Structure formats: C-alpha cells, structure tokens
Amino acid sequence: MSIPPGNRLNGLRLDLVVAAVLLSDTLVSGAAVAVGDGLAWYGWPLLAAGPLVFPLWRRYPRAVLLVTVGALVAVGHLHVGPLAAIPALVAIAVSMYRGHRRLTVSLVLLVSVATMLGNWTAAGFQFTGAVMEQSMLVIGWLHVALISGESRRQRDAYMAEAEHTREEAVKRKAADERVRIARELHDSLTHSISVIRVQAGVALHLARKRGEEPAPALVAVEEAAKDATRELRETLTMLRDDEGHRLSRVTPLADRYRGLGFAIDVDCEVDETVVLDEEVDHAAYRIVQEALTNAVRHSDGDRVRVRVRRNEDALVVEVADNGRARGFTPGRGLTGMRERADALGGTLDVGPGEFGFTVTACLPMPSTEPLIPVQAGAEPGGLR
C-alpha cells in the first residue's frame, strides 16, 4: 500500500523528527548521570545544543557540524555516556554527504587526537588497555560516521549518473525512432502525394491550354496536394533534425502564412543564443504552428499576433487573432495543443482575449510549476 505524499516524512518534518529523537537520546544520557554522580548545570544546554540546531543542516551544514561536535567535546569530561555522541555522529555523516569533506575530515582527526590525549591524561599518562579501548571506541565511531556520509554521497552521485545515462539512452532511442518514421513517411506518403500533385497540375495545364475553365474540384486538389507536400516536408525535417532551437524559426513559419491574406505580427524573445529545454522548445513551436493554422482556416479576422515570452520559471506562448472569439468547439488542433502542454506539466488557455480569439500556453521549464491555471472553454460552435 502506497503512502500519500502528504503523509510522508520529508524535508523539515523529517528533520524535526530526527532532532526530537536525538534530543531524547542526549537527555536520557544526561538524566542517567544526574541520577548517579550528578550533572553540572551547564551540561544540559550542551547536551541539547546539537539536537536543537540539527534542523538547520540543509542550509548551514558546516555550522551545525561545528556546534554539535563542539558541544560533544565540551561535555566529554562529564562522562555522559555514548548516547551523547549520537548527534555529533549524525552531523559528521550529514556534513560528508553535503560534500564538506576537508572540514569534516579535519574535525574528525582533531577530535580523535583530543580523545586519545584526554584518555591518556586521565590515566596518568600511561597507555593502558582501558585507555586504548575507550579511545578506539570513540575514534572508530567517528570514522564510521565519516565513511557512512561519504559512501551515501557517492551512492547518490552514482544513481544520478545512472539516471542521466538512462535518459540519454532513451533520447537516442527516440531520435533513432524519429529517423525511422521519417524514412517510412518519405518512402510512402511523399511519393503518393507528389504523384497526385503532378497529375492535378497536368490536368490543369491541359484544361487551360484548351481554353477551358478548370474544374474547382481539380484546383482544390492541386492546392491541397501543395499544402500536404509542404506540411509533410516540414514534418520530415522536424523528425530528422532534432538540433537547434525550433522557436528561432517562428518568423519564417509566420512568413508562409502572410501570403494567405493575414497580417502576422511576431514578437519572439527566443533565438539561437537562448538556452532552452528541447522538449519545451519543440512543443512551443508546434503550438504556434497549430494556432496559426487554426487562425488561417477558421478565423474571420485578418490579423494575428504571436508573442513568445521566457521568464525565470516558464515559457509563455500567446497566439491571438482578431476574429470571432466565441462559439467554437475544440477540434483536433486544440486537443493536440492541450496534450502537448499537459505532457510537460503546463497549461493551455483558449478563448476570448483583449485582441480576439487567443491561445495561451504556459510551458514550465524543468523542475518548475505551471504558472497559468486551466480555464473553462468557451461556448460550442465552429470547429478549431
């Protein structure tokens, strides 16, 4: 049975639980001494110092290490028992895990020497079996904490590298699959569409040569074949070429639609110099392309405005035409755009805007959250 994310111990809640456990250990150790020989008044705050500062380890790991180990050294002469050393051991492991190896190793060596000298001094400067046993016990646990933190750090680094390698392998496999699909499309569809286009063009040429008016259906077939050839060529190019920014091609994309009776204003902040996630770049370009296609096919306006903005957290794409903004039914185009946005954890907002019919996509960059909430669609009507 899986545990809901809200019920899992992580972050600050986990740190507070660990701090409470460490505090209980040190207080139990102090109480045992207080019941027996008695504990000096300053022993209690020293025992509590390490556990109380532990929740700060994520932001100040070195400070937590120094305070915790310093408190352990300060109560060493009170003979509070091994439980009092647990916070220092945890702090040493955490500091090594965070990569502060030079400070941590130096501090462990210093404490080890101090422990050996302290026990040697207490035994009247004689190396007895008890001195060696007590010293090696403390030094051994210090080094165990040191090694534990470093091994966990290396393990996590190895897992991160393995995950990165796996992602790269998946990307290579996906690239190979795109090339295979492009090859199959080229071998099958491109030839057939080219034949249709050539045959329709020949029929139109012969009709005009005979002085006849070409049939509207034949003209439509030739135009559709031209559009299909252009779209297929662009699709094949996108499948084969996965390098470079696609959004940098927005202006040439808009130029192809300007000849269809639309004035298109493009304002894109992304160019070849901007570092952008490939998936976000691809999805944004496709959304602009589909929105322009919808505007040309279904809008009753004559102007289209394309805006691409990149902020710290997300890429915002807006395509608006000055046509009728009400009475539409989402078709395959809008559905495909929404699926692209959802796949990246983003949102798509479609409907009336200040300019007219507006498509706004918010695509978060990796490790970010969506910025624009999904809003309800407009009334049903024409297909987009």
**pLDDT by residue (tens digit) across 191-238?**
677 778 788 888 888 888 888 887 888 778 878 877 777 777 767 766
* Claim to verify: residue 159 and residue 255 sit in the same structural domain: no
The verdict on residue 236 lying in a domain is: no
* Claim to verify: residue 287 and residue 154 sit in the same structural domain: no
* Claim to verify: residue 16 and residue 160 sit in the same structural domain: yes
Other Cβ atoms within 10 Å of 122 Cβ, number: 13
Place of tokens 């991160």: 160
Which pLDDT belongs to residue 377? 38
Which pLDDT belongs to residue 9? 54
Distance from C-alpha of 365 to C-alpha of 284, rounded to nearest angstrom: 12
347: domain CATH number is 3.30.565.10
Distance from C-alpha of 307 to C-alpha of 288, rounded to nearest angstrom: 9
Question: Any alpha helices (H) in the chain, and if so which ranges?
Answer: 11-35, 43-53, 61-74, 86-97, 101-122, 129-185, 191-209, 216-240, 250-258, 278-298, 332-343
Note whether 318 and 358 are within 8 A (CB).
yes
Which pLDDT belongs to residue 2? 44
Which pLDDT belongs to residue 379? 39
- Can you give the residue range of the structural domain that contains 13? 5-167
Place of tokens 């300060």: 74
Portion of the chain with pLDDT greater than 90, in percent: 1
The verdict on residue 355 lying in a domain is: yes
Report residues of the chain scoring pLDDT below 70. Answer: 1-10, 33-38, 81, 186-188, 190-191, 234, 237-245, 259-261, 325-329, 366-384
**Total tally of structural domains belonging to the chain:** 2
Phi, psi of 189 (to 5 degrees): -75, -45
Note whether 64 and 54 are within 8 A (CB).
yes
* Claim to verify: residue 153 and residue 281 sit in the same structural domain: no
* Claim to verify: residue 9 and residue 139 sit in the same structural domain: yes
Place of tokens 């496709």: 286
The verdict on residue 84 lying in a domain is: yes
The verdict on residue 179 lying in a domain is: no
Nearest to 239 by CA among 195, 182, 172, 190: 182
The verdict on residue 208 lying in a domain is: no
* Claim to verify: residue 161 and residue 256 sit in the same structural domain: no
Note whether 344 and 363 are within 8 A (CB).
yes
* Angstrom distances, CA of residue 316 to CA of 267, 347, 359, 360: 12, 10, 10, 7
The verdict on residue 182 lying in a domain is: no
Note whether 111 and 142 are within 8 A (CB).
yes
Which residues, in sequence order, are bridge partners of residue 382? 328
* Claim to verify: residue 282 and residue 150 sit in the same structural domain: no
Phi, psi of 367 (to 5 degrees): 65, 30
The verdict on residue 207 lying in a domain is: no
Place of tokens 């960059």: 365
* Claim to verify: residue 163 and residue 291 sit in the same structural domain: no
Q: Of 112, 136, 167, at which residue does a domain stop?
A: 167
* Claim to verify: residue 153 and residue 253 sit in the same structural domain: no
* Claim to verify: residue 14 and residue 149 sit in the same structural domain: yes
The verdict on residue 348 lying in a domain is: yes
Note whether 116 and 135 are within 8 A (CB).
yes
Q: Of 167, 188, 217, at which residue does a domain stop?
A: 167
* Claim to verify: residue 263 and residue 157 sit in the same structural domain: no
* Claim to verify: residue 158 and residue 301 sit in the same structural domain: no
Distance from C-alpha of 305 to C-alpha of 362, rounded to nearest angstrom: 17
Distance from C-alpha of 299 to C-alpha of 382, rounded to nearest angstrom: 10
Q: Of 141, 167, 193, at which residue does a domain stop?
A: 167
